[in-house]
């Protein structure tokens, strides 16, 4: 019987897997529009982020959403999945007022049979305006086998 769980850690500087297969399900970590190195984040004495080290903090919201989707798609592809396999999305917005714009962009990625979704406001975003986590369903016979 083949193993039913496999992780694909992309980064070794943080204790997480970027994507993990558990049986027929593939789960991603939460992704934002850029990947940063936690060692490069500069905090004020009160805990406010002064600099996230990316140089991308002024990126427009719509570009952040599209780049976030690109990161999620890249992670899913490692496990042999696409957005068409996604059954659930969890999304976080730094500003709830961006919900309408987010929803319009999101709809373009899931035009047919969109996954179930939750959207939450979050202040813990390291200057990102959006983050997303996906769960996909892809039977192992259709994707890379765990080893």
What average pLDDT does this structure show over 2-23? 70
Q: For residue 113, is pLDDT > 90?
A: yes
Tokens 């999305």 sit on residue: 89
Buried b / exposed e over 74-104, threshold 16 CB at 10 Å, is ebbebbbbebebbeebbbbbbeeebeeebee
pLDDT in tens, 62-87: 999 999 999 999 999 999 999 999 99
Which CATH fold topology does 5-142 show? Answer: 60s Ribosomal Protein L30; Chain: A; (3.30.1330)
pLDDT, tens digit, 9 for 90 and up, residues 49-58: 777 677 666 7
Give CA–CA dist 59/63, Å, rounded. Answer: 7
Give 1's pLDDT tier (boundaries 50, 70, 90).
very low
When mean pLDDT is compared across 10-19, 24-33, 44-53, the lowest value belongs to 10-19
Instruction: Domain ranges for the chain, please list them.
Output: 5-142
Place of tokens 């193993």: 3
Averaged pLDDT, 34-57: 73
């Amino acid at each position: 019987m083949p193993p039913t769980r496999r992780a694909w850690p992309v980064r070794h500087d943080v204790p997480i897997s970027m994507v993990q297969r558990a049986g027929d399900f593939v789960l991603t970590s939460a992704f934002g529009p850029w990947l940063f190195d936690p060692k490069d984040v500069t905090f004020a004495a009160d805990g406010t982020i002064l600099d996230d080290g990316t140089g991308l903090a002024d990126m427009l919201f719509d570009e952040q959403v599209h780049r976030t989707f690109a990161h999620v798609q890249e992670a899913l592809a490692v496990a042999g999945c696409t957005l068409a396999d996604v059954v659930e999305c969890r999304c976080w917005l730094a500003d709830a007022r961006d919900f309408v714009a987010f929803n319009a962009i999101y709809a373009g990625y899931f035009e047919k049979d969109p996954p179930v979704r939750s959207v939450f406001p979050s202040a813990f975003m390291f200057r990102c305006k959006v983050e997303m986590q996906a769960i996909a369903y892809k039977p192992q016979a259709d994707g890379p086998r765990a080893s």
